[in-house]
Amino acid sequence: MSAIDLFTPLELGAITLKNRMVMAPLTRNRASREGVPGALQVEYYRQRASAGLILSEATCIAPEAVGYPCTPGIWNDVQAEGWNAVTRAVQEAGGRIFCQLWHVGRISHPDLQPGGQRPVAPSAIAPAGAAFTYEGMKPFVTPRALEQTELPGIVRAYRAAAGHAQAAGFDGVEVHAANGYLLDEFLRDGTNQRSDAYGGSVEHRMRLLLEALEAVCGVWGVGRVGVRLSPIQPFNDMRDSDPQGTFSRVVERLNDFGLAYLHVTELGKDAPGAAGPFFDPLELRRLWKGVYMTNAGYDKARGNAVLAQGRADLVAYGAPFLANPDLPERFRRDAPLNTPDPDTFYGGGAQGYTDYPFLT
């Protein structure tokens, strides 16, 4: 059998991927203020349809889930119609696309919340840093701890968003439980200091994630749902007293769901200990029984190596896909890569979004 590399096709649940290069979720802040994708998003995603799989930018499941300006939503029919134009364009170009379902939790600001209310979180613990609002950067506020009676409503929001994503024509969905947002805030004991059935032990802290997954899988069925985790990522002021123990148990439980894949970011390796005692997230591959996706600054050589070693089945690329819409072809030819322009990452128009050149 020939060695597996980035260009080897993969059966992913109910669909076939033409290669193992995944476009990572990339927040670009170019939707309307109502959270509706438009013509720019259609062109942006269509350009990148040569990826084996596209993961959409993080997409809010409810008005209360919003934490940044001009991020897309998937909680109403108008947003779903906007996304449908995107999914059709990607699929007609031969691509596959999943919608990343997102609730930011405490990483928001009253300026971005309905009625100016405080953001919600598992516990009333303010993150360090500042929120990006329509009026510029403002210090984070102390979030309101969710009442246990409110948590079924969060689960219903995930279920409804999954239904809207299905109506929008996505090939599947990814539940965002990483990077210091709501579900990750429940998982890690640095942000979850509850004493009820959703706090304390790992079994309790993972309860909301498992309930949200059950709801989403109830809409999509087996093989169309993925999950993203970030065990050692300190982003958004996150930490855990035992990340290896916490996330090992989470992964063991996720095996019960028949997921399309598990997406684990290795980000945080450059700051060992910042988010808790360090361990290598690739160690979680041993516990996972399905398709495993890794993500952390990979290039072609390292991507091929981690696949050949059997330590991952898919490799997600962020900034390289942002600046190189034809990244798979550039890797195939060993062609030079365009350089990303950080000044155009967040917000703006076509510049730095849909105007990066192709090889031909």
| Gyration radius of the chain over CA positions | 19
Distance of CA 110 to the CA centre of its chain: 23
What span, in angstroms and rounded, lies between the C-alpha atoms of 346 and 58?
13
Q: Would residue 45 show up in a list of annotated catalytic residues for this protein?
A: no
Which residues lie closer than 8 Å to 67 by C-beta, 6 or more apart? 60, 104, 105, 107, 108, 109, 112, 119, 131, 181
Which of the residues 181, 261, 317, 356 is marked catalytic?
181
What span, in angstroms and rounded, lies between the C-alpha atoms of 165 and 77?
10
Name the token pair of 158: 């995930």
What span, in angstroms and rounded, lies between the C-alpha atoms of 249 and 203?
8
Name the token pair of 43: 């062109």
What span, in angstroms and rounded, lies between the C-alpha atoms of 210 and 263?
16
Residues annotated catalytic, as ranges: 181
